[in-house]
Amino acid sequence: MNAGQDLIGKDLCDHYAFRQGKVDWQIWITTGDAPLPRKLVITNRSDEARPQSVSYMAWNLKPTFTDAIFKFTPPRGAQAIGIRPLNTK
């Protein structure tokens, strides 16, 4: 169901709530040109305590890093592992 709108930080978000079996979950998605999830709440209804997991998400849409961050440098003493083809019938 559409549960209206709320602010997550300074972002106006559409709030949706869902029920699936013994789990309820809610998601807040930023309105506008960048509709990204900002908050997720999962509730376990099979437990009388109704435990919840709450996650907040912040997005960096213009990250700055160089290609070097993706370069693998093996630790000293590391050895390559040989890979053999899978035997097929």
pLDDT of 31-87, one tens digit each?
999 999 999 999 999 999 999 999 999 999 999 999 999 999 999 999 999 888 888
Q: What is the pTM of this model?
A: 0.72
pLDDT digits (tens, 9 = 90+) for 3-21: 999 999 999 999 999 999 9
Identify the CA nearest to 37 among candidates 45, 46, 26. Answer: 26
At 89, the pLDDT band (50, 70, 90 cuts) reads low
Q: In what order do the strands lie in the sheet with 11-20?
A: 2-8, 11-20, 23-30, 37-44, 52-56
- CA dist 16 and 30 (Å) reads 11
pLDDT digits (tens, 9 = 90+) for 52-61: 999 999 999 9
Q: Answer yes or no: are the C-beta atoms of 18 and 24 closer than 8 Å.
A: yes
Identify the CA nearest to 31 among candidates 62, 64, 4. Answer: 4
